[in-house]
Structure formats: structure tokens, C-alpha cells
Structure 1
Amino acid sequence: MANHIEQIIEDMDGRPQAVLVHLGESPLAWLRARGHLSERHYAAGDMLRADWERAGLGARVTMRWDAAPREGGRRGPGERPDPTLAQMAARARFDGAIAAAGPGLADILWRVACAGEGVVAAEKALGWPSRAGKLVLTLALDRVAGWYRVP
């Protein structure tokens, strides 16, 4: 299993789950495994992707079947926060991180970290020359790492 790493992710209820991730599936993990990204840059990109997913910004293929809100909409002690509040907080973090990356850098950052495009495909889609994407992605990840306060 040299091409797999174990990661801890949160499920929809906030419980940690251990999953095996194939390095070829994540462009950021692929770059990190080959020494093109530092651990700091990888962590920042992974935090951005996690916020993007928590905010529900990805394309949906079915309708949501969540239960309707209860009357009053109030939580009792010990109940989980409303998922919409968690989504709004994740959206705010995502928007802040993208703003921190800045114009011109956010495009490739979103394509690689969130949409899962490879760097070469992102370069082509943006009309950039070969090998420009990795440099710009690294600059964007550095800014996002600062925004997320990744050491």
C-alpha cells in the first residue's frame, strides 16, 4: 500500500473517521508525495478543500433528504449545532481563504485543491504555459496557509 496514506476526516455528524486515500486521487497529495509541496502547503490546501466540502459548495447529484427543522428551531443542551450554521461558518472560512489567495492565484487553487483537477489540466483550462501552475499554486497555498495560521 505504498500508494495509499491514512487520513482522518470528519463525517457529516462531525465524528472522526479514518480513511485510506490513494495518492493518485488527490492532486495535492500527489504533489506532496513527490516533494513538490511542503507539509504546510498541503495542510492549507486540505483545510481549504474541507471547508469547501463542509460548506456544500460542490455540485449535488441528488436532492437533500434531511429532516425538516423542528418547531421553534432551538437546540437543547448537548445537541449538535444546526448543519446550516456549520455550513455558513465553513463558507465564511472558504471565502476568507480564497480572498487571502488573491485574484489570479485563487483560480488554480480552487481547481487543484477543491475541484481535484491536476495541475496540467488546470494550466490548460486557464490558458497558462506549462509548469507555471505549480509555482502559482505554491504561492496561493502559502497565502492560504498564512490565513489559516498553519505553522
Structure 2
Amino acid sequence: MRSKSPLVDAFRAQHLNISTQADGSLIDDSESPLAWLARRKGRGGQALITPHQFLAGERLRADFTRAQMTPKVTASWNVAVASGRRGEAGVHMTDVILAARQRVQLAVRATGPEFSGLLLDVCCFLKKLDVVETERGWPVRSAKVVLQLGLDRLARHYGLTSEAKGPIRAAMRAWKADET
């Protein structure tokens, strides 16, 4: 799904696979390993990850990006050289950044040490599964299974499920007073 945005000019947009998230943020689906897994079909014809797993991973990625936890690739020229304490001048943490960092920390804590590293690598640092397997010395195609388990735990933390559950029919309620 292509989205035209004032943030992305027409020339750049033709080279990207941009989609709009529910919160209004733009992402490039071609750079996301999760989007690739969601589009790819397994042996049974079903997607390799379910929609609620995909949403959970993208929610973690959005919070990670909002928290400004992505590594910097260039030097920061905002810091004044004459300031007494280098590196602290010009640092402004907004409530949005702090709240996003808390949400990432809660998600990492909820998924536990077994899954949090893999989820951060794939969802936030956008590492492909074969790269993760090589770095960790895992057998081929094992990261997919571990990722599915981690995404299930992450989805449970966010309250996402594959289907809505509840009573078949809710009890009838009325706001008017009883007539006596």
C-alpha cells in the first residue's frame, strides 16, 4: 500500500514501499524483516507470522524509534565545544521520548531474556533471520521458530490476540430508571 506524504517527496516515494501505521507513522515495508515474514507463505499456505504477531513487532519498533534508541551514524554538531560538560549540552528528553523508553523497557522485561534480544535484533535493528542465526551460532531456520514464540509473548504483553473473545451476548443495560 503506497502512501503519499509531505515528508517523502515523489521521487523518493517511487523507490520505497511506504505504508502508514495505525498511529499515522510511515514505515518502509521493504526494510522490515517482519513485513517480509508476514507476506511470505509457509508450507500450509499460511503466512509465516500472524497479523497480531506482526502488529506487536511493529509496535515495539515504533516505540524504539520514538524513544530515539537507534544508533547514531553521524557526529552530533549540536554540542557547544566551550561548554564545561561535553555531551550533555543540547540534550532534551521530552515526555514522548521518556514514555517510549519506558514502554520498550516494559516490553523487553515482559518477553524475558530468552526472547528480548532476538526481538530487538529483528524488530528494531532490522536484522534478517539468517544474520541472527549466523551471529548466534544457531541452526538454519531456527530463528523463525524462536521469533514466532517471542512475538507471541510480545503480543500477549500488548494485549493482542488472533481472535476476539468474550461472552456470546452481553447483558442488556439501560440508563433509564425503573418505572414504579
TM-score (norm 2): 0.63
Query: How many angstroms does 1:105 deviate by?
Result: 1.1
Structure number having the greater strand percentage: 1
Q: Match for 1:88 among 86, 98, 114?
A: 98
Per the alignment, do residues 48 and 84 of structure 1 end up closer, same or farther by CA in structure 2, a change over 3 Å counting? Answer: same
TM-score (norm 1): 0.75
**Which structure 2 residue ranges, 5 or more long, are not aligned?**
3-15, 41-46, 79-91, 162-180
**Which structure 1 residue ranges, 5 or more long, are not aligned?**
11-15, 66-81
Query: How many angstroms does 1:6 deviate by?
Result: 2.3
Matched, 1:115 2:146: no
Query: How many angstroms does 1:134 deviate by?
Result: 0.6
Matched, 1:58 2:70: yes
Query: How many angstroms does 1:5 deviate by?
Result: 5.8
RMSD: 2.6
CA distance in 1, matches of 2:122, 2:111: 13
Query: How many angstroms does 1:43 deviate by?
Result: 0.2
If asked which structure has higher relative contact order (CA below 8 Å, sep 6+), I would say 1
Sequence identity, in percent? 34
Matched, 1:140 2:143: no
CA distance in 1, matches of 2:36, 2:115: 20
Question: What is the correspondence of 1:2-151 to structure 2 with a 5 Å cutoff?
Answer: 4=17, 6-8=19-21, 16=24, 19=26, 21-23=28-30, 25-34=31-40, 35-60=47-72, 61-63=74-76, 84-151=94-161
- Which structure's CA Rg is the greater one? 2
Query: How many angstroms does 1:123 deviate by?
Result: 1.1
SS of residue paired to 1:104: helix
Q: How many residues align?
A: 129
Per the alignment, do residues 37 and 6 of structure 1 end up closer, same or farther by CA in structure 2, a change over 3 Å counting? Answer: same
CA distance in 1, matches of 2:119, 2:105: 13
